[in-house]
Structure 1
Amino acid sequence: MVSALGMTAVLGGCGSTGSSDVTLRLVAADYGDSAANSSKKYWDALAEEYEKQHSGVKIEVSVYSWNDVDRKVKEMVDAGHAPDLAQIGAYADYAAADKLYPASDLLSIRTQADFLSPLADAGEWKHTQYGIPFAASTRVLFYNKTLFAKANLTPPTTWAELAADAKALKAQGVKYPYALPLGPEEAQAETMQWLLSGGNGYTDDVGTYTIDSSANVETFTWLKDELVGKDLTGPVAPGKLNRADAFAAFADGQVGMLNGHPTLIQQAGKKGVKFGMVPMPGRTGKARASMGVADWMMAFKQNGQADRIGDFLDFVYSEKNVLDFSRRYGLLPVTGSASNAMAASAAPTDKALQPFLEQLPTSELYPVGKTSWAAVSAAVKQNIGQAVAPGGSPAAVLTRLQSTATAADSSTAN
């Protein structure tokens, strides 16, 4: 990701300037992978279009890489200079601290009703929506069609078939038969996909952490014994393999299978890799659910401006603008109107997203409404790789993570 425009020198409140003029400050994450497709270009064009229609309103946008954006917003809030809007990875801490407007104070009824319900529900803290979904994706199993054809394989539908396919790919000299990125960049995602395919997840139906459940221990024991222990996950230890490196290796034709999200379509396509996509296999059949991921828009109360913020957000979430952003970055629309338009489209890029679109309505998201999730996610990133390492104990690692989660939940409970 590319870090773009820095913060302006003046970070104070941006209310009235003596006339009807007002500046709304938005801090946003960069979804691009180069300066050429930085999100700054998207937001600058959107702001310019909005400003043309609304004299006296200026939209000031600062874009940061995903490595920096959450920290930048936290620093601004801690310093007493919250932006009006932030488009980042998590909202619950700010909602719990009473720093955000509820979505119902901002958005028109039409805009609010248009969000896909799993995403809107995931944006709730204590049964009130504060997190406004901005971008979404699900995960599917990508496989290299060329490597599969050479080994005379069909895509797996169960764990046993996945392991058998990986063994056959290894025999053909494939570098990463199944790429298992449990490195610190995004291990919480690969972990959740496997937990779901094993029939459980991070939490139960009422939101209590169940990281060390017997089903989850069985899942990681299987991974350790049947994939990692049989040298079917490649030359880099899973705990050191990051998602970006796994995607790059897939785009270079070195990976037989891996869990991927929509951006991998473009990345692999640019390199000419022929690939297929199927639902993630489960223990004995299709996984219970796919993992969904959403990023969030939120509005801070510090500077007031609820009406102006809401009007701008209604513009941001128009069908046209949601589709434009989704298509530009290979992500899924968060609204029903844009999802329906994409599903009905015959455009090749839209058709390529169909496997992901189909899974979104029934996908499961991280427990982002829990203020403890940030600490739990960080612990998973740092430690889950040990569960599949030689001599590692899946039960012991998951038990330690459960203790961390329980403690984090207690300390953040309100």
Structure 2
Amino acid sequence: MKRRLLVAAGVAAALTGVAACGSDSSDDNKSETKPGNTAPAAGNGKTVRVWLMKGTAPDDYIAAFKAKFEADHPGAKLDVQIQQWNGIGQKVTGALASNDAPDVIEAGNTQIAQYGASGGLKDLSSKVTELGGKDWLTGLSEPGKVDGKTYGIPFYAANRVVVYNKELFAKAGVTPPKTRAEWLETTKKLNSGDQQGIYLPGQNWYFYSGLLKDEGADLATKAGSSWKANLDGAPAVAASAFYKELQALGKGPKDSDEKTQPEVVAADGGKIAQFIAVPGEAETVIKANPALKDKFGFFPIPGKDASKPGAVLTGGSDLMIPEAAKNQDLAYDVIKQFNSDEWQTKLAQAIKFLPNKTTLSSALASDPGGMAMGEGAKNGFATPNSPNWASVEENNPIKAYLTKVMTGGDAAAAGKEANASIEKTLNTKN
């Protein structure tokens, strides 16, 4: 996640043994049983460089964070450098291979496997317990691991929800559904005349991957040393059939993704009953069409049954420490402060994205979109944890597969074609 969601939705990461981050292994074990008992690393006139991505945190948050860190580490200076998403992969790869890497780097969660496989990241596995890893969102913590070692510490998360027009729902006499079957029936009632029951482009592969997960399959799985894609089996056929039925209850294009969705919904003037998006996209729509102010509500993507919401692909960012970082002990203290409940809560409330722990679900209690997102995140998951997954997304055969299904093609045949492309990329040796 690429801009903030795909934002690295997609976007974030993972990190081991941190003798170099301030203590020996026995000290690590003691600190893990009593989180927060490790004394701050000494400042000693050092400058700690931190790369944060553009849009991650507002200036006042960064300023307050910097003031707190420097007060806790007399003599240290915190230099937060804002990076652009465009071209960041090459820039990070170069930094990891250099002798002058920043001390902390933020990365999208889908990028961590690639960076971890390069051998240029510090293994932070021994710090997971101290940082409260048992409560991390799965969709962020799993991508942070490579071969069982943790290189990326979850920073923040986001996932898609259903944004709905409260007025149109009220006029139709319907309420937010809890199951897929209810969702279809609700959407049929909302789909009348020039009103769309839902605006759903045919290539929203993020949404599709959640449907596939609910049917019991992942986009791709690893067996031994090889990857196998799963778009041709019964789970994929069932997932694409539901997608096709739902998509037909609106006028969304079958051959494009959701990039132009905010503009379409804004221009519609209030005749689109639902769309699938990160909650913040509703604000983008309202800015383009102020007449829609106060008309939107949010609910988690419905699941197959009412026991839990539908599975959602979790995007976001992780924090990592390069092996070449000169101040690894101070770098870990930066990550520890970012990971604390206080600073996680402040960040969530500032950017309206999810904190990294399930125990902080109340951070967005006053934000309906955030609450819906948090409920969905309980059933979150990540993209296949391969260094080559970013290359799959670049050419994304899943989009072509979905368009073929939406336009009447055979789902199993289209799935086999997509599988071949995905497997070729994932099984390419770097």
Verify same fold: TM over 0.5. Answer: yes
> Which residue of the partner structure matches residue 102 of structure 2?
83
Correspondences of 1:190-205 after superposition (within 5 Å): 190-203=207-220
Amino acid at match of 1:179: Y
Could you report, residue by residue, the CA deviation over 1:248-267 in whole angstroms, capped at 9, with x for unpaired residues?
54466343222233434655
SS in 2 for 1:25: strand
Offset, 1:65: 4.2
Q: 1:263 to 1:66 in 2, by over 3 A?
A: farther
> Which residue of the partner structure matches residue 215 of structure 1?
235
Q: 1:125 aligns with which of 141, 146, 150?
A: 146
SS in 1 for 2:197: strand
Q: Which region of structure 1 is more displaced relative to structure 2, 403-412 or 87-96?
A: 403-412
Correspondences of 1:12-411 after superposition (within 5 Å): 20-31=44-55, 39-77=58-96, 81-89=100-108, 90-104=111-125, 107=127, 109-113=129-133, 115-116=135-136, 118=138, 119-174=140-195, 176-182=196-202, 187-203=204-220, 209-224=229-244, 226-228=245-247, 230=248, 232-234=249-251, 236-243=252-259, 245-250=260-265, 253-264=270-281, 266-267=283-284, 271-282=292-303, 289-336=311-358, 338-339=360-361, 342=363, 348-349=366-367, 353-367=370-384, 369-378=385-394, 379-380=396-397, 383-390=400-407, 392-411=409-428
Q: Which region of structure 1 is more displaced relative to structure 2, 316-325 or 150-159?
A: 150-159
> Which residue of the partner structure matches residue 8 of structure 1?
none
Q: 1:410 to 1:68 in 2, by over 3 A?
A: closer
Equivalent-residue separation in structure 2 for 1:153 and 1:117 (angstroms): 32
Q: 1:117 to 1:305 in 2, by over 3 A?
A: same
Q: Which region of structure 1 is more displaced relative to structure 2, 382-391 or 49-58?
A: 382-391
Equivalent-residue separation in structure 1 for 2:71 and 2:231 (angstroms): 51
Q: Which runs of 5+ in 1 are unaligned?
A: 3-18, 33-37
Could you report, residue by residue, the CA deviation over 1:40-69 in whole angstroms, capped at 9, with x for unpaired residues?
553344224322432332222222344444
Could you report, residue by residue, the CA deviation over 1:218-277 in whole angstroms, capped at 9, with x for unpaired residues?
3224433x344x4x332x52432424x324544663432222334346556775243333
Amino acid at match of 2:65: L
Offset, 1:328: 0.9
Equivalent-residue separation in structure 2 for 1:363 and 1:324 (angstroms): 22
Q: 1:328 to 1:289 in 2, by over 3 A?
A: same
Q: Which runs of 5+ in 2 are unaligned?
A: 5-42
Offset, 1:132: 1.1
Amino acid at match of 2:55: Y
Q: 2:302–2:310: 8 Å Cα contact kept in structure 1?
A: no
Offset, 1:324: 0.8
Equivalent-residue separation in structure 2 for 1:338 and 1:160 (angstroms): 31
SS in 2 for 1:171: coil
Amino acid at match of 1:127: G
Offset, 1:317: 1.5
Equivalent-residue separation in structure 1 for 2:242 and 2:377 (angstroms): 27
Offset, 1:287: 5.6
Offset, 1:122: 3.7
Q: 1:300 to 1:409 in 2, by over 3 A?
A: same
Equivalent-residue separation in structure 2 for 1:190 and 1:173 (angstroms): 25
Offset, 1:192: 1.4
Equivalent-residue separation in structure 1 for 2:414 and 2:50 (angstroms): 40
Offset, 1:39: 3.9
CA RMSD of aligned residues (A): 3.4
Q: 2:156–2:316: 8 Å Cα contact kept in structure 1?
A: yes
Equivalent-residue separation in structure 1 for 2:137 and 2:407 (angstroms): 42
Q: 1:373 to 1:264 in 2, by over 3 A?
A: same
Q: 2:349–2:363: 8 Å Cα contact kept in structure 1?
A: no
Equivalent-residue separation in structure 1 for 2:164 and 2:51 (angstroms): 36
Equivalent-residue separation in structure 1 for 2:241 and 2:65 (angstroms): 49
Amino acid at match of 1:259: I
Q: 1:205 to 1:178 in 2, by over 3 A?
A: farther
Offset, 1:322: 0.7
Equivalent-residue separation in structure 1 for 2:280 and 2:49 (angstroms): 28
TM-score by length of 2: 0.74
Correspondences of 1:2-21 after superposition (within 5 Å): 20-21=44-45
Q: 1:133–1:295: 8 Å Cα contact kept in structure 2?
A: yes
Q: 1:100 to 1:156 in 2, by over 3 A?
A: same
Equivalent-residue separation in structure 1 for 2:115 and 2:255 (angstroms): 31
Equivalent-residue separation in structure 1 for 2:103 and 2:213 (angstroms): 36
Offset, 1:392: 4.3
Structure number with greater CO (CA < 8 Å, separation at least 6) is 2
Q: 1:303 to 1:197 in 2, by over 3 A?
A: closer
